[in-house]
Structure 1
């Protein structure tokens, strides 16, 4: 392949930026990837801690960790179909259906078939569901603020920026040794 053809094909595909030797932090070793040093594990632990605290705050409302998310999405984001709720919650449609069944049994939501397309079900909050949904964001804010105690506003903005950068880096396709040899 000519040098020009090679550069044309690489300019069209989005690849992750090259990681220089000074940027590589982790090595495939038990010491490097120990739980107290592993960003992935620490992020997962923080997520678990946040979820547990939010669940403690919403349990007096009659909600579990799985149940408060759809109420927030319906009320604040106007997401109103089971498929969209499942997609935004990162759960399968079966799990979302079971959650919606429980929310309906608690009189927080109703389900209505769309008159234009009977295959589509629209979810609406009941009056009781709206009252409960309005109390969820304060519980989330309290939980986040508790976890961020002692952080300055600048540190919080830096943390958000760093996490967004990690997410952006994760959007690049991964070049693995096996996929590189196939080309």
Structure 2
């Protein structure tokens, strides 16, 4: 009789996963919801960048250059989460459009500096307003305190996820 009960119990579906005491549903998960939002926001930003002749990939390094966050190929690649080859190809297209120029460092020939051209500066100067206008749409209906709370929640989620990468780095043995 006990063996029959074990067999019957093993056929039952596993207990539903809960997160913070709430049943986990894929369509309502944080990752799923954030991905949906990111896709819509990216699509809208790209639509608004079209008159500037910029793609989703192209406006990001232009903005970084405009805000003086970085001015080397390697640094821009890191900030834009691209490999050096991908950034070089992207800069080839931006340079062909007359939006930036590259010069090799005199001190270290491995380093390539990037500068906005006047046309690139004019295009990049419009990007913060475009991003701000999309942000305003996202924030409609939120009170300032709610919006700040949302920002805090997103920072906490980001911080929680940062620990995953750190934990994986320490758990993975380094090749010797």
Bin the TM-score by the shorter chain.
Answer: 0.7 to 0.9
Q: Indicate the structure (1 or 2) with the bigger Cα radius of gyration.
A: 2
| TM-score, normalising length: structure 2 | 0.79
Which of 80, 83, 88 aligns to 1:92? It is: 83
Which of 20, 24, 27 aligns to 1:24? It is: 20
Q: 1:58 to 1:25 in 2, by over 3 A?
A: farther
Partner of 2:143: 152
Partner of 1:107: 98
Which of 52, 59, 62 aligns to 1:61? It is: 52
Q: 1:146 to 1:130 in 2, by over 3 A?
A: same
Partner of 1:49: 40
Q: 1:24 to 1:78 in 2, by over 3 A?
A: closer
Partner of 1:34: 26
Deviations 1:35-75 (A, max 9, x none): 2x110011111111111111111110010000000000011
Higher relative contact order (CA 8 A, sep 6+): 1
1:112-123 matches, cutoff 5 A: 112-123=103-114
RMSD of aligned residue pairs (Cα, Å): 2.0
Gaps of 5+ in 1: 1-21
Hey, what's the Cα distance between the residues in 2 that align with 1:175 and 1:86? 25
Task: Report how many aligned residue pairs link the two structures.
Answer: 151
Which of 79, 100, 117 aligns to 1:126? It is: 117
Hey, what's the Cα distance between the residues in 2 that align with 1:77 and 1:46? 28
| TM-score, normalising length: structure 1 | 0.76
Which of 169, 174, 180 aligns to 2:160? It is: 169
Hey, what's the Cα distance between the residues in 2 that align with 1:158 and 1:98? 39
Partner of 1:77: 68
The question of whether the paired residues in 2 share the 8 Å contact of 1:75 and 1:130 is answered with yes
